[in-house]
Amino acid sequence: MKQLLPFLSLLTLPIAYATPAPATTVLFSTHSDGEAAQRGRLTGQVLSARREPVEGLSVALKGTSFGTMTGSDGQFRLSAPAGTYQLVVSGLGYATQELAVAVTGGETTVLPTIVAPASQQQLHGVTVTGSRTLNDQPVAIGKLPVRPLDLPQSIATIPQPVLEQQQTLRLSDVLANVSGVYVMGTTGGTQEELASRGFAMGSNNTFKNGARFNNGILPEVSSLESFEVLKGSAAILFGNVAAGGIVNLVTKKPRFAPGGSLGLRVGSFDFYKPMLDMYGAVGSSEHVAYRLNATYETARSFRDGVSSERVYANPSLLFKLGGKTEVLVEGDYLRDDRTPDYGVGAINYRLVNGPRGRFLGAGWVNNQTTQRSLSTTFSHRLNAAWQLRGLASYQGYDNDQLRISRPTNVQDNGDFARSAQRGGTMQDYFLGQIDLTGKFETGPLTHAVLVGADADKYNTTNLSYSSQAYDVINILRPENSPQRRTDTPTPALASRSHAPIRRAGAYAQDLVGLGEHLKLLAGVRYSYQESGTKKLTYKDNQLSQATPSYDDAFSPRFGVVYQPISTTSVFASYANSFTLNSGQDVHGGALAPSLFNQYEVGVKNDLFHGLLSANLTAYRIVNSNQAQTIQEFLAPGLRNPAFNPDRSDARELAGEVTSKGLELDVMSKPYQGWSFIAGYSYNHTAYTRSTLYKEGDLLRYNPSHTANLSAYYTVQNSPLKGLQGGLLAYYVGERQAGRNYRTLYDKNGHLTPDNRQLIALSAYAQLDATIGYSWQVLTLRLKAANLLNELSYNVHDDNSVNPIAPRNYAATLTYSF
């Protein structure tokens, strides 16, 4: 970490001497300390004629360089020397407002609500682009309405225009724009398993509109308004989340102005996807608006015998209850049927060199998943500085999979004894959450406060079926397998287990401003969780019940942000998080949670009047008490005093895993038709202490390097106006799958060989190209993906070796109304 500090300081040198910011930026660095002491602050809110917050309006003091922009809640805040001014509120589509204001030194003046009526001037051919930079747009998943530039954490947001421009279809397409977050596997081809900074991001780390969702299914991307990433620890906000970070899918919201689109996407491998998006006021109401997103998708695959079909609907209603209260009701329904596909197989931890499309399953396999959710978000502005927000959410998840066993224990000659298997999961998830956010001052200090509490509950039922020996095929020559069967088996139900989880937490966080340049962040969360399992075995009709476990933990967070100028932040932070462990300790009790300590430093910059954002972050994450099975011998002849022969499967917190790395994120705003996104990440996650694994061994699935670059251009002011094109390049470095080698000893303390091995996966680079043309209400976009026809694999252990798709094409035609 020390070696990185000189580099960080060098990065800030050219920034401090950048061209002065425009009038819409608050300038703090051009005044003496004496003048700054006589400064005061103005704060207020801008609403439309319908009493809706207006985002992106310029709020400036006439004849000065002091100004700012309204946030997503319509609020603004600026600082200036004491005196009287004319405050000018202006923006595209709204009539300019002017009012006299007085700034009192050392005080904050709260202005009356400003109403900005719509402009009567007719606008022709105007394209409105986002007014916020990567560092200026607060993320909903952060709960506190504070711009990322003021927070000691790496944050990324991918907005809807980028998603449309790149014609994203899956989350993996979206992640190609974010450094350090990647797909670690696609087990069975039915999901995309995400990871960040060396740690898996399971369902605890994936959110939709602020509520957790089960990521065992491929989520729908066409309905997204934006994609948010909080890298690093988010334990203070959500409890036991993995240390690498969290993602939040923000779906499109209702609008009062009528509009929408109807589209059709077609592509390689018989891909067809009609899409509908419509919105507007309910009737002629000024208080109720709606939105409906719906899609249908059917496709085959480059994999022989693999197909999919899915239906999606995302209806929502927005209720305006007066000028201060909103209620947003959102529904989400997805049914996904597809062929489970465990890939091309491996022999003795070696990838099989065979056709990319070779399928080792059977014609009767099927994976059916239904996911549905309903959420209600309540927001009430108590005044210009304080807001109360509540969220109540339900999610149902049902999965039924009839499959051929994964290709494991394959013989050297390629023979694979297949079994017929079935499994099922039924899950109900309930969440209640309430947050109070506010801004106030105590003397010279400013505060941005978050206080909240949440409680959630999982009710999960798993169905297990008896595995049936089915047939034997040869994965090298499956078409010549004489014992290959085609009839559909009927595995018998073997057991049903019920695993409830109940959690609750309370948290508080304060971002304290000490003058114009320094901010301190401090907060803590208390989390409580209880869980237990009941299992009914049908063979003997026996009911077993695990002893319930009760866990709690405190998760502190500290950070400091230094802003030498208003467009640059240098930060450092510490956070603690935890994850729960399965299994029992040597005494038969529940195993304690594993604790993670995370350290992060970085610099955030908005350059060239906000046209370019460039952020660099370095981090170190240490899990100092990783859970491992207790070994009887630690070395030849050295018996482990913690081992109990009566509990040979007991576990202990005896390992340590350390992740360290560097991330760079660069994003531009559109300028003269050009826009681009770039990123790079380096990560090294390894065992740094273990009684089971070799110290220094890398953890699986994590590429040491990733990089991304996308550039797009839209023709302006010429006969070809509306034509756009771009390229997206994504690089994934070397990584490993398989299984880490273990140091094992027999009952006599002698070292025994372990047949586990790692599978080295080579680096690859994928290049995509898009071109589009918009004419009045019609838009046609074409995409060529994996232009170089690169071959690589997403591998889970050694039993789901799924090749990436070859070169493929897609076309999307959209009619807007």
pLDDT in tens, 689-730: 998 899 999 999 999 999 999 999 999 888 888 899 999 999
Q: State yes or no: pLDDT of 37 exceeds 70.
A: no
Q: Cα(648)–Cα(632) distance, rounded to whole angstroms?
A: 8
Give the tens place of pLDDT for each residue, 664-689: 999 999 888 999 999 999 999 999 99
Q: State yes or no: pLDDT of 168 exceeds 50.
A: yes
Q: State yes or no: pLDDT of 141 exceeds 60.
A: yes
The pLDDT-based confidence of 38 (bands split at 50, 70, 90) is confident
Confirm if 476 and 414 have CB atoms less than 8 A apart: yes
pLDDT of residue 729: 97
Q: Cα(437)–Cα(742) distance, rounded to whole angstroms?
A: 49
Sequence-distant (6+) residues with CB within 8 A of 94 are 48, 54, 57, 116, 117, 118, 119
pLDDT of residue 127: 42
Instruction: Identify the CA nearest to 26 among candidates 616, 665, 606.
Output: 606
Domain CATH for 394: 2.40.170.20
Instruction: Indicate the residue among 62, 87, 115 that finishes a domain.
Output: 115
pLDDT of residue 403: 96
Q: Cα(64)–Cα(61) distance, rounded to whole angstroms?
A: 6
Confirm if 304 and 344 have CB atoms less than 8 A apart: no
Q: Cα(748)–Cα(754) distance, rounded to whole angstroms?
A: 16
- 760 assigned to some structural domain: yes
Higher pLDDT, 1 or 756: 756
Count the domains in the chain: 2
The pLDDT-based confidence of 480 (bands split at 50, 70, 90) is confident
Amino acid letter at 209?
Answer: N
Determine the average pLDDT of the residues in 489-517. 95
Percent over 70 (pLDDT), the chain: 93
Q: What are phi and psi of 35, to 5 degrees?
A: -70, -40
Confirm if 89 and 48 have CB atoms less than 8 A apart: no
Determine the average pLDDT of the residues in 98-124. 78
The answer to which of 41-45, 349-353, 507-511, 581-585 has the lowest mean pLDDT is 581-585
The pLDDT-based confidence of 131 (bands split at 50, 70, 90) is low
Instruction: Identify the CA nearest to 519 among candidates 115, 221, 148.
Output: 148
Instruction: Indicate the residue among 80, 115, 150 that finishes a domain.
Output: 115
Q: State yes or no: pLDDT of 603 exceeds 70.
A: yes
Determine the average pLDDT of the residues in 37-42. 76
Q: Cα(369)–Cα(798) distance, rounded to whole angstroms?
A: 25
pLDDT of residue 631: 82
Determine the average pLDDT of the residues in 512-541. 89
Determine the average pLDDT of the residues in 582-611. 87
**CA atoms 217, 218, 220, 225: torsion sign:** positive
pLDDT of residue 32: 40
- 683 assigned to some structural domain: yes
Question: Which position has the token pair 């747009």?
Answer: 137
- 210 assigned to some structural domain: no
Question: Which position has the token pair 């303390």?
Answer: 749
pLDDT of residue 6: 39
Q: State yes or no: pLDDT of 776 exceeds 70.
A: yes
Average pLDDT value over all residues in the chain: 89
Determine the average pLDDT of the residues in 753-764. 93
Q: State yes or no: pLDDT of 621 exceeds 70.
A: yes
Confirm if 698 and 665 have CB atoms less than 8 A apart: no
User: Which of the listed ranges 579-593, 603-617, 642-656 does the model predict with the highest average pLDDT?
Assistant: 603-617
Determine the average pLDDT of the residues in 220-239. 94
- 128 assigned to some structural domain: no
Q: State yes or no: pLDDT of 759 exceeds 80.
A: yes
Higher pLDDT, 22 or 442: 442
Give the tens place of pLDDT for each residue, 355-397: 999 999 999 999 999 999 999 999 999 998 999 999 999 999 9
Strands (E), 28-93: 39-47, 58-61, 67-69, 75-81, 83-91
Determine the average pLDDT of the residues in 6-23. 35
Q: State yes or no: pLDDT of 351 exceeds 60.
A: yes
- 735 assigned to some structural domain: yes
pLDDT of residue 531: 87
Higher pLDDT, 193 or 629: 193
Structural domain boundaries, residue 36:
31-115
**Terminal-residue alpha carbon distance, the chain:** 54
In Å, how far are 667, 709, 731 from 716, measured between CA atoms? 21, 23, 31
Q: State yes or no: pLDDT of 411 exceeds 90.
A: yes
pLDDT of residue 126: 41
Give the tens place of pLDDT for each residue, 208-219: 999 999 999 999
- 301 assigned to some structural domain: no
Instruction: Indicate the residue among 115, 131, 157 that finishes a domain.
Output: 115
Q: State yes or no: pLDDT of 26 exceeds 70.
A: no
Confirm if 245 and 201 have CB atoms less than 8 A apart: yes
3-state secondary structure 569-603: EEEEEEEEEEECCCCECCCCCECCCEEEEEEEEEE
Measured from the Cβ of residue 20, the count of other Cβ atoms closer than 10 Å reads: 11
The pLDDT-based confidence of 50 (bands split at 50, 70, 90) is low
Q: State yes or no: pLDDT of 551 exceeds 90.
A: no
Q: Cα(214)–Cα(200) distance, rounded to whole angstroms?
A: 14
Q: State yes or no: pLDDT of 20 exceeds 70.
A: no
Percent over 90 (pLDDT), the chain: 67
Confirm if 311 and 334 have CB atoms less than 8 A apart: yes
The pLDDT-based confidence of 13 (bands split at 50, 70, 90) is very low
Confirm if 613 and 567 have CB atoms less than 8 A apart: no
- 416 assigned to some structural domain: yes
- Residues across the chain: 817
- 195 assigned to some structural domain: no
Domain CATH for 55: 2.60.40.1120
The pLDDT-based confidence of 173 (bands split at 50, 70, 90) is very high
pLDDT of residue 124: 41
pLDDT of residue 54: 84
Work out whether strand 415-442 and strand 468-474 pair parallel, antiparallel, or are unpaired. Answer: antiparallel
